[in-house]
Structure 1
Amino acid sequence: MTSNEVLAAINACVIIPTYNNGKTLKQVLDGVRRYTSDIIVVNDGSTDETARLLAPYTDLTIIHLPRNSGKGFALRTGFLEADARGFDYAISIDSDGQHFPDDIPKFADEIQRNGPALLIGDRNMNQAGIPGKSSFGNRFSNFWFRFETGITLADTQSGFRLYPLKQIRNIRFYTTKFEFEVEVIVKAAWRGIPVRNIPVKVLYNPAERVSHFRPFRDFTRISILNTWLVVVTLLYIRPRAYLRTFREKGFKRFFLEDLLHSDDSTSKKASSVALGVLVGLSPLWGFQTITVFFLAFVLRLNKLIAFAFSNISLPPLIPLIIYAGLQVGAFVLGEPTGTSFQWTNIGTYRAFIQQHLTEYIIGSLVLSIVTAAVFGVGTYLLLNIKERRKV
């Protein structure tokens, strides 16, 4: 297969977003043209000699944006053009000269071997010459991507990527700057699109490379985006995934497969059960899901098991749980709770709780701690008995 047939085999084009990279743009264009002539250049409002440099390349698709709108906007513009021209994939490569065009065939080979995916070039961030801020930013991004998707990658910030256009076509994106490259991979993973790394080379030449990343402003944007993505993950994505698991398996199958036959240790499974019960019975109404996921992640416990047992506070049981918390709180504080409590009127127990808020909070905390301990110890003993029977 000739170099020009490499991308044609997977019906892919190359998108090159550029902004004031006149020093390196020509060498990048000439390097990419060795592998394909299906190139879309998006000039993101450059004010240097970029327009003049692009003029001789009449065989390429060149889009001149009237003003600088951000890398994310330039990429999205390129995606629309590539999709309109019927391409299935688009490879993005930065115009600052840090990427090697001879790595382009690796993306096509990976798709042919392992099927559709969103591929991200994995740079060696430990080699000499890599700025410390770039290495830190990459580790920061990798951590939050793993938290938001459960997928571990070595490099999530590389701009050398392959995008499956048809799979991401209907995803709604909101960002237009550097943070878009975070948004697109997280939302792709949420849609079930495989996201993988492939090794690529990288060159940092401070004499020629011009970076438009503004550390404070762009890092702030990325942090705000990650905060929002984490909230969506904890309140919607994770619960949705786990609820789908429950519906598919049912509680009995979940109990047998995820609790009894999980590869986690007995103590870890028992601790996960205890955490779920603790959060489920605590007075954190409206925040129980986000709390249980956060604590399970921090404590390195089984998130699925913890989430399952946090649902001990199912709607039919809520009045009973509230009543038990009130009674325990009254007992601890040595105060009566009264006898005129009517469960049939929702306004009645709301008003009742307001009058006895201290008893309710203290009682709920005591109830959740004691019940969590009972469930945790009980689960630990049950699993140990099962293990002994196996032996």
Structure 2
Amino acid sequence: MDSAVTLSERITNTKACVIIPTYNNHKTLRRVVDGVLHYTNNVIVVNDGSTDTTKEILSSYPQVTQIHITKNRGKGNALREGFKKAKELQYEYAITIDSDGQHFPDDIPVFLEALEFENRPVLLIGSRNMNQDDVPKKSSFGNKFSNFWFWFETGNRLEDTQSGYRLYPLQFIPNTLFTNKFEFEIEVIVRTAWNGIPVKNIPIKILYDPNERVTHFRPFKDFTRISILNIILVLITLLYIKPRDFFRSFKKKSFKKFVRENILESTDSNSKKAASIALGVFVGIAPFWGFQTAIVIVLAVVLRWNKVLAFAFSNISIPPMIPLIIYGSLQIGALFVTSKAGLISGNKTAFELIQNNLTQYVIGSFVLATVTAILFGITSYLLLSFSRKLSK
């Protein structure tokens, strides 16, 4: 009992609480609540519109903070309500544990010890042994599916992304979350990782008792909702997150460090480096204004080329170069269309000429981008090959 008291004090000093979302799990709810109370009284139970005896069971726990939602709205909504109450009570961390009996409250110390070891804001997910004989195959498949998309969206590999046994840093998860059901637990970890907070697994025990366990996961509906969420997250990843993170890291490098690490010492082959440079030049000149960074990073990721080089050379369209690029595009485009803009002169600005001769500009721009990209690619390949020979 002394160890439990000590742990209770540590939980209080950490400003942590335990949140138990529940919906029609009256068979196991009492056992879970009693198990958690053995370690701490900082407990919030969210009754998500249960229609069984959940409310009667909770009436015997006056020491527990309770939220009763009149109509079932989904686990995600229940967790949001729990997080909101936890913040109101000045908690900084929340451990969430399912009420269906699959999680062991005696793993609470594992979360606390991992948090103390990290000594920084971190989101911890209990990693289950999905190879146990009693683990349903659909759960194992769903977890692998979720793990893959979490890696694609964040670059972080985890063994288990679907476990509901977690520790959340309340001040560092997004303030606004949009999903209400099981997909909430995917949204929150992906968006927290996007905010720069480490998301890690820690080992936990798991119990799948078919006689007690009640699952509210609807395979078709919920899997569809999760798939739609992942489509949205992937699009955001490719069009915003990866370009944002890449641009941030690129800005931190000096030009000398960039040349040394990303051109001279890069392990990429000369052909891949040259292709990356050509890609950057093409996207930089082509009429993709406003989307050049996103496009070049996405293409470099998909093609597995050098993202740094592609991004760097996409900046060929810096302000001093823009008039020359526009002029060259219009002049080249004039070779392919009958209406010619002529020289950039007189009272019209370059952008007015583009507006009045859009087809000419677009065609000329793509031709100029292609030719220039080929020249840059060939030249850079020859220079890189020559540099490598000199270094031998």
Q: What TM-score do the two structures reach when normalised by structure 1? A: 0.86
Equivalence for 2:261: 257
Q: Is the 8 A contact 1:90 1:163 kept in 2?
A: yes
| CA displacement at 1:71 relative to structure 2 | 1.2
- Residue by residue over 1:69-126, the C-alpha shift from the partner in whole angstroms, topping out at 9 and shown as x without a partner, is 2212211221222222232211111112222222222111111112231111122334
Partner of 2:6: 5
2:139 paired residue number: 134
Where do residues 76-95 of structure 1 align in structure 2 (5 Å cutoff)? 76-95=80-99
Partner of residue 306 from structure 2, selected from 302, 307, 316: 302
1:353 to 354, 358, 374: 358
Q: Which residue of 2 aligns with 1:63?
A: 67
Q: Does 1:238 align with 2:242?
A: yes
CA contact 1:7–1:13 (8 Å) conserved in 2: no
Give the Cα–Cα distance (whole angstroms) in 2 for the partners of residues 241 and 188 of structure 1. Answer: 14
Does 1:120 pair with 2:161? no
Distance 1:154 1:320, change over 3 A: farther
Where do residues 205-220 of structure 1 align in structure 2 (5 Å cutoff)?
Answer: 205-220=209-224
Q: Label 1:352 to 1:162 Cα distance change in 2 as closer, same or farther (>3 A).
A: same
Structure 1 stretch displaced more, 219-228 or 93-102: 219-228
Shift of 1:350: 1.7
Q: Is the 8 A contact 1:341 1:349 kept in 2?
A: no
Distance 1:121 1:277, change over 3 A: farther
Number of aligned positions between the proteins: 385
Asked if structure 2 preserves the Cα contact closer than 8 Å seen for 1:276 and 1:309, the reply is yes
Question: In 2, are the aligned partners of 1:43 and 1:50 still within 8 Å (CA)?
Answer: yes
SS at match of 1:187: helix
Are the counterparts in 2 of residues 130 and 204 from structure 1 also a CA contact under 8 Å? yes
Q: Which runs of 5+ in 1 are unaligned?
A: none
1:306–1:66 Cα change, 3 Å: same
Do the aligned residues in 2 keep the contact of 1:17 with 1:43 (CA within 8 Å)? Answer: yes
Q: Is the 8 A contact 1:42 1:64 kept in 2?
A: yes
For residues 285-327 of structure 1, the C-alpha deviation after alignment (integer angstroms, 9 at most, x for no partner) is: 4443333233222222333332332233334434433443444
Greater shift, 336-345 or 119-128, is seen at 336-345
Partner of 1:39: 43
Q: Where does the alignment leave 5 or more consecutive residues of structure 2 unmatched? A: none
Corresponding position of 1:180: 184
Pick from 265, 268, 280: which aligns with 2:284? 280
Contact 1:234–1:289, Cα closer than 8 Å, also in 2: no
Tell me whether 1:157 sits opposite 2:162 in the alignment: yes
Which among 28, 33, 51 is matched to residue 24 of structure 1?
Answer: 28
Q: Is 1:145 the equivalent of 2:150?
A: yes
Deviation for aligned residue 1:4: 4.0
Choose from 193, 197, 203 the match for 1:193.
197
The 1:151–1:315 alpha-carbon spacing in structure 2 relative to 1, beyond 3 Å, is farther
Once the two structures are superposed, residues 134-160 of structure 1 have per-residue CA deviations (whole angstroms, 9 ceiling, x without a partner) of 333333332332233222222222211
What code does the residue aligned with 1:302 have? N
Aligned residue type for 2:251: R
Deviations 1:214-235 (CA, angstroms, capped at 9, x unpaired): 2333333333333333333334
Partner of 1:72 in structure 2?
76
Q: In 1, distance between residues paired with 2:208 and 2:381? A: 53
RMSD value over aligned CA atoms? 2.9
Greater shift, 32-41 or 316-325, is seen at 316-325
Which residue identity is paired with 1:291?
I
3-state DSSP of counterpart to 2:187: helix
Query: What residue identity is the alignment partner of 2:130?
Result: M
How far the C-alpha of 1:337 sits from its partner, in A, is 4.2
Q: Find 2:349's aligned residue among 337, 344, 349.
A: 344
Which residue of structure 2 lines up, in the alignment, with residue 97 of structure 1?
101
Who is 2:375 aligned against?
374
Mapped to 1, the partners of 2:386 and 2:111 lie a distance apart of: 51
CA positional deviation for 1:172? 2.5
Structure 1 residues 91 and 318: alpha-carbon distance in aligned structure 2, compared to 1, 3 A threshold: same
Shift of 1:211: 1.8
Work out the CA distance in 1 between the residues paired with 2:137 and 2:313. 43
Q: Percent identity of the aligned residues?
A: 57
